Structure 1
């Protein structure tokens, strides 16, 4: 069963990477065809990859992300849906629960919503594991 979960995670990652590549190639083609596009507008439309952390190594760490950036939290052999978060300053970061979406298994994550620093406490409802780290949104 764990092998199927890993295959689903890998499939979801490959699908996301393919969709991102297609989106980026479509954007670059449109920008290449428009000779009046300036460098400033093309920079702001680029997709930024998420920061990936693992719950096994996140405890006590400080994670730096940009405003609007994402943190993808890998959960090892635990069910991504079992993790919840308490964010000290919810104005700085927002939590997205993990779980199934169709056939894909999505990791929990965070998005930077305003510049600042906040403490994040992740808790696994099945194992009782608690992981605490800091998110610094620039």
Structure 2
């Protein structure tokens, strides 16, 4: 049975807005939860400044993780956009996946943005291959 992820509409809207505003480059960020509820979108700068890949800025990432700790929140997921392709992990996404959290991808390939979520399990960071499991996603309150 697939894992389920409920994304409140305000969180989904914030993610999509960040992705649209970041075009033509991919957008990226992290999500925070408190208990089972997603509570915050942290918009982050794409250090790669590329329409084909993203990377979280290490200093900004550290600041966000400190904020999570200060607020008593947990890291709920990492998100990024695909500006021209479907919302499915690319080989680069798999290789760079490092957190044991859901990876959300917002596809901007069509007029209506598409949000999908995945768990990427690998033997080690940097491994070229891994198991990709799509999560059930529900948008709305």
TM over 0.5: no
Larger helix proportion of the pair: 1
Highest CA radius of gyration, 1 or 2? 1
TM norm structure 1: 0.30
TM norm structure 2: 0.30
